[in-house]
Chains A and B, each alone.
Chain A
């Protein structure tokens, strides 16, 4: 049987299960409805004339604000034919007796325009503006209006002959002879723009389905199988562990696939008609790779926590987790900035959103230069490869966990590769890389972020306790050595990216001392969590130790620079608060690693 046929055969039971009864029909129906809804939504947002859809358009910068248009074009925009007739009548009666205290929008526009024109006549004009200034003065005179300079205390109007928008507005007022045009509001979007909006909505739903809903379903399903002990019978069937994991994911993903397919079609169709196909195809590829990575991550979480938490609780947690990163990613993807362009490497949601937007709108609309656009492409390419590799590593770890094969979830080279990939991705995404921030800020920020994946990789390197004839003692020193190697790799990559290796010589030895202490505690904490079951006291101590370990960062920051003028209070920052707290800090610096080490040796 070929690999593809094997995979298909492994997916079959889970896909059949997901589609059993009338579910397939319902999913297809739901998918078609969602597709139709996307088209309707696209048309409604693009061409609807109601205030709600207009607000949505303005929110997404698809339309200029109504006030700006009214100012610039000297018009009054109304929402109904009744308002149109009424406003036209009001324009016809302009200017009416000032004793009439009634207020209406045409009158307000008229008064504002009079002040504006008057201000223009009193402002020094360049040679090219003389004729227009004379026209403005004549207009006021022809309407019998005062040309007295407006009192800035009662009515302030700004005008500058060097401001193109001011001049354009003046021209519009002169052309309209001080009478604003009344315009019935209509969406300004063209058919092409409407198609693009529909494509953008389809792209958004596609991203949501693949990068939020899919991992949520996959992770919850794994948690449910573990929680209800239905996974064990499956491990006894003819499916290999890898096939079982992929098959389980395939069941949940088949539902997402049915829902996402029309969205992808709508996106590609709209892009083919009005945009650029290549970025859209790249976006779909990135979404698929991101879906693979996030689904594997969700399966790992579901497997690890499924026995302790109900699938419902875990599902809510996963929804919050993936939903948060989905929103953050979409925000970065929609508004790329030079400093945050690297985030496209780390968050597939950002990369996908960015690529879909690029497929519908030309680069120059949101990039100041092509170099930045290329940086974005580079970050996306590196991120896609990186997340793909991390997904494969996650799957191997899960395979060994579920199948109870191998000595640990990850081998040493695999963990090293994982640490290297995450290091590159985090350093690439680091906003401080572009800013004029000090080097140490970059180093400490990325180290703090990398602490989480490093700790996870170290946990995956810990030997299984339920394997082997004899208990294998936890190789604490060896594993801490691996962590030190990853941290060293992080330092090297940071220096390469920043390109200033001479900075290394300027770092105070105290920084290395605290760095070593932090890595020691981080490693011991990670190993302590997986080494043996923990009681409530041990959990509290581990949580407290993790919190205290964070204080290593301000300590390192304090000693980064300059060399001189460091005293004892810099060595123990708590001393700056009180001598007692300084003493407690000194005790904890020794007690925490010692206690963790001792409990690990006892466990071994």
Chain B
């Protein structure tokens, strides 16, 4: 489903704008990320797209057609997960999916088949009849997203779907979204965890105080903002230093990093091992050279992981330049 927002605006009290003149085009079958800090207007935008909140101004186009007066037909093609969406704790996953499937007026036979299929897809078949209140947080979140897909929507709107999930559940979520994308579903997902969206989204928009800051394909934005600074964390294997000072390995590593013009942000300890957080002004080849130099100097590097994504750097850059 093609979605277009034209000068979409919303005010709740008539004086302050939650969303102001937002213009976006979300191509059919893409995963679109909506990024912004708390209070930026992400949830309001998604609610307007889900047709549960009426815009104060502007226009919404679904497949090029404006929203009809009775939006119930459009709603049948939308799956919406709002923020703070609690489950009915006494209902089992099967009952919950059946309830929402009926709310979308799915025929009985089709609904029962969809329930079984969705439970299997979301790895909830084993918990089919367990009350939702007894499910883990990850399972509950999976169930909530499953509810949004039970009626096979063409547009999926997810407001902070990864909020509070552990890494395993986040990974599952990514897999689910990619699977939905394969089926041709257009996905609009909002998040403030940018690493989640970095290599998941095809396009994205950054909004701040209800206004659009930038929008477009992720790669184009990253290139457009010339992000060449990366942050890495190195974990070393080292002897403990005397009187609480750094050990010999860390001291050697800091020397090498200084020579290689890597900016040391901080040092610390993780899982009993010393860590060094550095900023590298350059591409990944430069980081590979630094690592080789460290190893050549006898530093025992256990892991080197990138802390912030390129998208986060874009966001930070924008915050520095425009948002603030």
Listed in ascending order, the chain A residues whose CB lies under 8 Å from chain B are 9, 12-13, 16-17, 20-21, 228-230, 232-240, 404-405, 465-472
Set of chain B residues within 8 Å of A240, measured between Cβ atoms: 70, 72
Set of chain A residues within 8 Å of B64, measured between Cβ atoms: none
A-B contact list, 16 entries, CB within 8 Å: A229-B84, A229-B85, A230-B86, A232-B85, A233-B85, A236-B75, A238-B104, A239-B72, A239-B103, A240-B70, A240-B72, A404-B54, A466-B13, A468-B56, A469-B56, A471-B11
Within 8 A of A (CB), among B128-167: 147, 151
- Give the Cβ gap from B77 to chain A, nearest Cβ, in Å: 9
Set of chain B residues within 8 Å of A471, measured between Cβ atoms: 11, 13-15
Give complex CA distance A405, B69 in Å.
11
Interface membership of chain B positions 36-65, coded 1 if the CB is closer than 8 angstroms to chain A and 0 otherwise: 000000000000001111101100000000
Q: Name 13 extra pairs, CB < 8 A, besides A230-B86, A237-B75.
A: A9-B102, A13-B103, A17-B95, A229-B86, A233-B81, A236-B51, A236-B52, A237-B100, A238-B75, A469-B56, A470-B11, A470-B14, A471-B15
Q: Give the number of residues in B that approach A within 8 Å (Cβ atoms).
A: 38
Nearest A residue to B79, CB-CB: A236
Set of chain B residues within 8 Å of A465, measured between Cβ atoms: 12-14
Give complex CA distance A472, B13 in Å.
9
Set of chain A residues within 8 Å of B105, measured between Cβ atoms: 9, 238
Interface of chain B, main secondary structure: loop
Whether A228 and B86, one on each chain, are in contact in the complex, defined by CB atoms closer than 8 angstroms, is: yes
A465-B14, A469-B9 as given contacts; A230 in contact with B57, CB under 8 Å = no
**B225 interfacial by beta-carbon distance below 8 Å:** no
Whether B72 and A404, one on each chain, are in contact in the complex, defined by CB atoms closer than 8 angstroms, is: no
Whether A468 and B82, one on each chain, are in contact in the complex, defined by CB atoms closer than 8 angstroms, is: no
Nearest A residue to B71, CB-CB: A240
7 nearest A-B residue pairs (beta carbon)? A471-B14, A13-B102, A237-B103, A469-B56, A238-B76, A236-B80, A236-B52
Nearest B residue to A239, CB-CB: B103
Whether B99 and A16, one on each chain, are in contact in the complex, defined by CB atoms closer than 8 angstroms, is: yes
Whether B12 and A237, one on each chain, are in contact in the complex, defined by CB atoms closer than 8 angstroms, is: no
**B200 interfacial by beta-carbon distance below 8 Å:** no
Listed in ascending order, the chain B residues whose CB lies under 8 Å from chain A are 9, 11-15, 50-54, 56-57, 70, 72-73, 75-76, 78, 80-82, 84-88, 91, 95, 98-100, 102-105, 147, 151
Set of chain B residues within 8 Å of A469, measured between Cβ atoms: 9, 11, 14, 56-57
A466-B12, A468-B14 as given contacts; A238 in contact with B103, CB under 8 Å = yes
Give complex CA distance A468, B91 in Å.
38
Set of chain A residues within 8 Å of B102, measured between Cβ atoms: 9, 12-13, 16
Give complex CA distance A194, B91 in Å.
45
A404-B54, A468-B56, A469-B56 as given contacts; A16 in contact with B98, CB under 8 Å = yes
Whether B78 and A20, one on each chain, are in contact in the complex, defined by CB atoms closer than 8 angstroms, is: no
Set of chain A residues within 8 Å of B80, measured between Cβ atoms: 233, 236
Whether A235 and B14, one on each chain, are in contact in the complex, defined by CB atoms closer than 8 angstroms, is: no
Whether B14 and A238, one on each chain, are in contact in the complex, defined by CB atoms closer than 8 angstroms, is: no
Give complex CA distance A238, B72 in Å.
5
- Give the Cβ gap from A64 to chain B, nearest Cβ, in Å: 53
Give complex CA distance A470, B57 in Å.
10
Give complex CA distance A225, B116 in Å.
27
Give complex CA distance A228, B104 in Å.
21
Give complex CA distance A576, B102 in Å.
68
For A236, give its contact among B57, B78, B98 (CB under 8 Å).
B78
A232-B52, A404-B53 as given contacts; A20 in contact with B95, CB under 8 Å = yes
For B82, give its contact among A9, A12, A233, A466 (CB under 8 Å).
A233
A230-B86, A233-B82, A239-B72 as given contacts; A21 in contact with B95, CB under 8 Å = yes
Give complex CA distance A468, B72 in Å.
21
Nearest B residue to A20, CB-CB: B95
- Give the Cβ gap from A516 to chain B, nearest Cβ, in Å: 31
Set of chain B residues within 8 Å of A239, measured between Cβ atoms: 72, 103
Residue of A230, A232, A468 with highest tally of chain B CB at under 10 A? A232
Give complex CA distance A21, B84 in Å.
27
Give complex CA distance A404, B55 in Å.
11
Give complex CA distance A240, B51 in Å.
11
Nearest B residue to A470, CB-CB: B14
- Give the Cβ gap from A236 to chain B, nearest Cβ, in Å: 5
- Give the Cβ gap from B168 to chain A, nearest Cβ, in Å: 26
Give complex CA distance A125, B91 in Å.
83
Residue of A13, A468, A470 with highest tally of chain B CB at under 10 A? A13
Set of chain A residues within 8 Å of B52, measured between Cβ atoms: 232, 235-236
- Give the Cβ gap from B143 to chain A, nearest Cβ, in Å: 12
Give complex CA distance A466, B16 in Å.
11
Whether B82 and A20, one on each chain, are in contact in the complex, defined by CB atoms closer than 8 angstroms, is: no
Give complex CA distance A412, B286 in Å.
73
